[in-house]
Structure 1
Amino acid sequence: MRDLAQVHQKKVLVLGLAKSGFTAARLLHKLGAFVTVNDAKPFEENPEAQELLNLGVTVICGRHPEDLLEEGFELLVKNPGIPYSNPMIQAAQEKGIPVWTEIELAYKISEAPFIGITGSNGKTTTTTLLFHMLNQDEKKPLIAGNIGTVASGVAEHAESDNVIVTELSSFQLKGTETFRPRIAIITNLYEAHLDYHGTIEDYEASKMKLTQNQTVEDYFIYNADQPHLAAYAQKCKAQLIPFTLKGKTEDSISADDEYIYWQGEKLIDRSKIMLGGQHNLENILAAAAAALLWGGTEETIIRVLSSFTGVKHRSQFVVNWKGRKFYNDSKATNALATKSALEAFPGNIVLLAGGLERNHSLEELRPYMNRVKALVTFGETSDRFGDFAADCGVGEVEKVSDMLSAVEKAVSHSSDGDTILLSPACASWDQYENFEIRGDAFIEAVRKVTEADE
């Protein structure tokens, strides 16, 4: 770990705990900063705050004192989920106090280089695929970021011969200043998270911070099939590595209906790829290009693509039972992600959907609802989703209150050859703490229903 004189014996405020805030606070304390943590959760319910207090960190819990920033802080590190409209963040910016997310801290203390992956959809699958490719080629990758492992905690122990393969959200990237990945990947850009960013321009600008510090020694892999993303790419200083699904190209990575190509040469027959769905082909191209640029071998890439079946909760194949294939796509927390899932299957889908009501439009699903033979819906959006499906001509619509009932109803509306797909198009927080718990509930319900009928 590199020493960081920028924080040594300086007053640093960490705003918001959870995993990233806790890790950043502990690390800053270790680096010699005078750390104060401010978290909304009461101290008696806050084990992270209790542990930090035992380390000697100043802890303020249960409230956000308006005068806290009068104490002379020289840096604020915020939990990425806290929006920039937060009064404490706005006050810090007005005072000229730098505001980071822990990704910036991770970069500054890391001995290892970074590969950064972002995008509206597909970043977790791309990150996981790339990690497997580099790992099997013994490139000593570490995996970090929005995928679940806090980047600064990984960077603390990384060595110079490692590479940190990092999934990054727009929330995390917006709080970076010097972060420079040697390879940057943007899988795609669609309108998302406007409740946080306010405008599509701010959302896209936050994503593009991934490349802002890159130089001609670095690489930027991007989706050339999106004209607005290709236009952004032309402003970057890195070497450009476009990918396209529109046929073979001679100088980058591409795909047609039969093959994936690297620099115009066949890399793999698409029929050998285990990971299904047109949307996953974007992820495959991005990951394969990054692996090859980092010195990976074509043989290893082919081996991984011939065996990798998906990331848990992201179009994850669960089981084939009586000719019905069950898929867990609980990570689909918006209509765009569910649209991608529906695109991946040709038809005969029994869809399980619904969740937290954010009043997001469902209209982008309409062109694909003809693939849905029945809908089972739940959560706050159940009535609105049901009305939408009926308006789209879906013949069978069922409303249920829990996941086991949802799977039971889905099976009752299914036949041999059908796909039973959990792809909620909504966040989980009305019924579940997170999408992972929702996905696990689906897997457990599938197990109960299928084992009971054997």
Structure 2
Amino acid sequence: MDKQKILVLGTGRSGVAAAKQILAMGGEVIFFDKNPKVEDRALLSQFKKKDKVSLIKGKLLASDLLHINASVISPGIPLDEPYVKMLSTAQIPIIGEIELAYQSSKGKLCAVTGTNGKTTTVSLIGEILKSEYSDTHVVGNIGNPFTAEALETEEQSATVCEVSSFQLETIVDFHPNVSAITNITPDHLDRHKTMKNYIAVKESIAENQEEEDSIVLNYMDPELRKFGKKRSLKPKVLWFSSEEEPKDTKEKESLFLRGDTFYYKKEDKEEKLFTTKDVHLLGKHNYENILCAVGVGLKMGVPMDKIIKVCKKFKPVEHRIEFVRERSGVKYYNDSKGTNVDAAIQALRAMPGPVVLIGGGYDKHVDFDPWVKEFKGRVKYLVLIGETRNQIAETAKKNGFQNVMFAEDMDEAVKDCAAYADPGDYVLLSPACASWGMFKDYEERGRIFKDCVKNL
């Protein structure tokens, strides 16, 4: 990109990281943000005075595209935005931040996608890789843009990248040595429109892989079981399962949970790894995350004894079924990362006692019925916040659940929960919705929840 002019769409974390990589490679950056209120000074203060950086905001004109060589789009920007279509019409190449990073990164790369479990799985994989590789990078949708570290990688580096469906929409040559898909359930249909589109985008993580590569797939997911058996799929499949041993597959290698014990099987030889009592993570969905991480670690060349040691030490990541405190016999858990229905269901199932639940948030046009049907025998009271609260309340009442309350903010929601919870109950923030509208992101929502709990 030496001396090339690159248009960076979006001025958030990933856009800034992409710009810094472009500048480090000798390019010039022109930012575009459709928000006319973006502060020039705040943005440009993140760069050196000598850096060739400028900003266009509000509206992108055809004349602004003169001499632009390529564009890098932030994952939060839909591809059907009019100004993105204008770039396509002008035949200006459009790539995403992870594609930009991949094209200049070195070493071994593994990438993880899926509807739920990505962050926990990637965090665990990162710790597994660190036990074997002295130079390990944990990047992507986990909060650390790939572009922020791509130029620091070397031939002996190992990188694990959490990849969202938004990021996969703009890959070109992105080619992980090992890929993994944790699961596929309805999410982001406001952007992808149909489940068929969403599934295809998730499965595209393997589109550039070859026969010498590997993909780790969830045997219990119907869509992934079909995908893993496609003749067109080139990488070798390593199956994992939390309910039954994978069978009727051409692969003779798998990871599975039998009873409370994790197993690794190759050919006809079984190896006991550890039990559910040996790990700190709660719930079946987390056991799947562990199995997936073990599989990726193996295929990245980490010895099993090191993998086992890391799995036994690993603790839950922030905002994913994270224990906050116990007060008056009530335990409080922060699952702000539960931004969709399936994730919220898994968190609810992980609670070992009666639950007072906080839900609601940004509307991603999903069906809340499967979540509400899990309330029976589990949820005592439901406290709702955000723009979906009326929709969720109606869904709850339609399914026979009447104990519903509304709160105007997180502080009120937490205080309502504390008032209605009895000793032995669990207060759980697991919203089944994105955070936008009330909060900057799920991390801010989780931090505010924890502060409110600690201030009780």
- Asked if residue 207 in structure 1 is aligned to residue 196 in structure 2, the reply is no
Say which SS state the counterpart of residue 227 (structure 2) adopts.
helix
Contact persistence 1:257–1:270 (CA under 8 A):
no
Contact persistence 1:252–1:262 (CA under 8 A):
yes
- Asked if residue 251 in structure 1 is aligned to residue 253 in structure 2, the reply is yes
- 1:69 CA displacement: 5.6
Q: Which moved more, 1:353-362 or 1:77-86?
A: 353-362
1:20 paired residue number:
14
Which amino acid in 1 is paired with 2:66? E
Say which SS state the counterpart of residue 176 (structure 1) adopts.
coil
Residues 275-304 of structure 1 deviation map (CA, whole Å, 9 limit, x = unaligned)? 001111111111011112223233333333
Give 1:241's match in structure 2, choosing from 234, 238, 253: 238
Which amino acid in 2 is paired with 1:181? P
- Asked if residue 150 in structure 1 is aligned to residue 145 in structure 2, the reply is yes
1:442/1:417 Cα in 2 relative to 1: closer, same or farther (>3 Å)? same
Contact persistence 1:375–1:389 (CA under 8 A):
no
Matches of 1:196 and 1:402, distance apart in 2: 27
2:278 paired residue number:
272
Which amino acid in 1 is paired with 2:264? W
1:306 paired residue number:
312
1:302/1:21 Cα in 2 relative to 1: closer, same or farther (>3 Å)? same
2:212 paired residue number:
217
2:71 paired residue number:
76
Residues 73-103 of structure 1 deviation map (CA, whole Å, 9 limit, x = unaligned)? 2311111111110112212223332210111
Give 2:404's match in structure 1, choosing from 385, 392, 397: 397
Say which SS state the counterpart of residue 253 (structure 1) adopts.
strand
1:392/1:45 Cα in 2 relative to 1: closer, same or farther (>3 Å)? farther
Contact persistence 1:43–1:49 (CA under 8 A):
no
Say which SS state the counterpart of residue 360 (structure 1) adopts.
coil
The equivalences for 1:156-171 within 5 A come to 156-171=151-166
1:3 paired residue number:
none
Which amino acid in 2 is paired with 1:439? G
Contact persistence 1:351–1:422 (CA under 8 A):
yes
Say which SS state the counterpart of residue 305 (structure 1) adopts.
helix
Say which SS state the counterpart of residue 253 (structure 2) adopts.
coil
Which amino acid in 2 is paired with 1:37? F
- Asked if residue 435 in structure 1 is aligned to residue 432 in structure 2, the reply is no
Residues 7-30 of structure 1 deviation map (CA, whole Å, 9 limit, x = unaligned)? 233332111121111121222122
RMSD of aligned alpha carbons:
2.1
Matches of 1:77 and 1:314, distance apart in 2: 31
1:48/1:423 Cα in 2 relative to 1: closer, same or farther (>3 Å)? same
Say which SS state the counterpart of residue 131 (structure 1) adopts.
helix
Which amino acid in 2 is paired with 1:241? L
1:438/1:105 Cα in 2 relative to 1: closer, same or farther (>3 Å)? same
- 1:435 CA displacement: 1.2
What TM-score, normalized by structure 2, do the two folds share? 0.91
Matches of 2:325 and 2:313, distance apart in 1: 16
Q: Which moved more, 1:145-154 or 1:234-243?
A: 234-243
Contact persistence 1:43–1:61 (CA under 8 A):
no
The equivalences for 1:400-415 within 5 A come to 400-415=407-422
Which amino acid in 2 is paired with 1:423? S
Which amino acid in 2 is paired with 1:35? V
Give 1:62's match in structure 2, choosing from 49, 57, 60: 57
The equivalences for 1:30-41 within 5 A come to 30-41=24-35
Matches of 1:359 and 1:222, distance apart in 2: 27
Contact persistence 1:338–1:365 (CA under 8 A):
yes
Which amino acid in 2 is paired with 1:17? T
1:54/1:387 Cα in 2 relative to 1: closer, same or farther (>3 Å)? same
Give 1:372's match in structure 2, choosing from 359, 379, 391: 379
Matches of 2:84 and 2:276, distance apart in 1: 48
Q: Which moved more, 1:63-72 or 1:118-127?
A: 63-72
The equivalences for 1:264-343 within 5 A come to 264-343=270-349
- Asked if residue 195 in structure 1 is aligned to residue 206 in structure 2, the reply is no
Contact persistence 2:132–2:302 (CA under 8 A):
yes
Contiguous gaps of at least 5 residues in structure 1: 1-6, 450-454
What TM-score, normalized by structure 1, do the two folds share? 0.91
Matches of 1:33 and 1:239, distance apart in 2: 38
Contact persistence 2:339–2:433 (CA under 8 A):
yes
Say which SS state the counterpart of residue 313 (structure 2) adopts.
coil
Matches of 2:41 and 2:319, distance apart in 1: 28
2:82 paired residue number:
87
- 1:58 CA displacement: 4.5
1:46/1:226 Cα in 2 relative to 1: closer, same or farther (>3 Å)? farther
- 1:378 CA displacement: 1.9
Contact persistence 1:328–1:439 (CA under 8 A):
yes
Matches of 2:398 and 2:388, distance apart in 1: 15
1:307/1:321 Cα in 2 relative to 1: closer, same or farther (>3 Å)? farther
Which amino acid in 2 is paired with 1:221? V
Contiguous gaps of at least 5 residues in structure 2: 247-251
Which amino acid in 1 is paired with 2:182? T
1:445 paired residue number:
452
Residues 43-90 of structure 1 deviation map (CA, whole Å, 9 limit, x = unaligned)? 535522454583443423322222146414231111111111011221
Say which SS state the counterpart of residue 230 (structure 1) adopts.
helix
